[in-house]
Amino acid sequence: MDKIIQLDKELFVFLNGLGSEAFDGFWLFLTKQLHWTPFFLFIFYLLFKKLGWKHLLLIVVSIAVMLTFTDQFTNLIKDNVQRLRPCNDLEIKDIIRIVKCSDTFSYFSGHAMNSTASTMFVFLILRKYYRYAFLLFLFPLIFAYSRIYLGLHFPGDILSGYFFGALSGYGFSKLYDIFRRKYFPESL
């Protein structure tokens, strides 16, 4: 495990070191969920266009419940693992670019888990209607990379967040299908 942690730190130092002050503002902008609102509204529009208001409401409620679950699960893991963020890691903090820092724990990334869970959930619905729905996965890739760039997460934190986010998105999409079949059988 020590070898994996050391490799994770080395990869972080490399990826974080690719940044420059000229782009810091851009990545600070991208890391805030609120700034992705136009993207989210566009996705909701696509869902509404293909499925209508009733389905959109069920999707929004499902995503809200899923994000509550993923937030709580992430906090449970962070509080038990208690891995320091790169910006607080004494071994590397003096050799990395720290654009933003936090006193909370690092493992695993809530940004990666939430963005991947919501993307997986929506992708599994939209892939039937849009050939390029897989492009939605650019969102969690960019959004979560911002956390490495800023000095807040190790790559392992991001990859674990992606993994558990994909599982959560898939699981909640199955629950959504059960409710959709029960309450909207006419749409099958």
Residue 6 is assigned to a structural domain of this protein: no
CB atoms within 10 A of CB 145: 19
Q: Which residue has the tokens 């929506």?
A: 122
> How many structural domains does the chain have?
1
Given a cut of 80, whether residue 14 has pLDDT beyond it is yes
Residue 130 is assigned to a structural domain of this protein: yes
pLDDT digits (tens, 9 = 90+) for 46-71: 999 999 999 999 999 999 999 999 99
36 closest CA partner among 120, 150, 144, 132: 144
Give per-residue burial for 92-125: e unless 16+ CB within 10 Å, then b.
beeebbebbeeeebbbbbbbbbbbbbbbbbbbbb
pLDDT digits (tens, 9 = 90+) for 104-157: 999 989 999 999 999 999 999 999 999 999 999 999 999 989 999 999 999 999
Position 122, amino acid:
V
Looking at residue 187, what is its pLDDT?
A: 60
Share of the chain above pLDDT 90, in %: 90
Contact between 113 and 163 under an 8 Å Cβ cutoff? The reply is no
pLDDT digits (tens, 9 = 90+) for 66-116: 999 999 999 999 999 999 999 999 999 999 999 999 999 999 899 999 999
Q: Interior CA angle at 53 toward 164 and 182, to 5°?
A: 65
Looking at residue 23, what is its pLDDT?
A: 95
Residue 163 is assigned to a structural domain of this protein: yes
Residue 3 is assigned to a structural domain of this protein: no
Residue 11 is assigned to a structural domain of this protein: no
Q: Domain limits at 91?
A: 23-187
Residue 2 is assigned to a structural domain of this protein: no
Position 3, amino acid:
K
Average pLDDT, the chain: 94
When pLDDT is cut at 50, 70 and 90, the band that residue 1 belongs to is confident
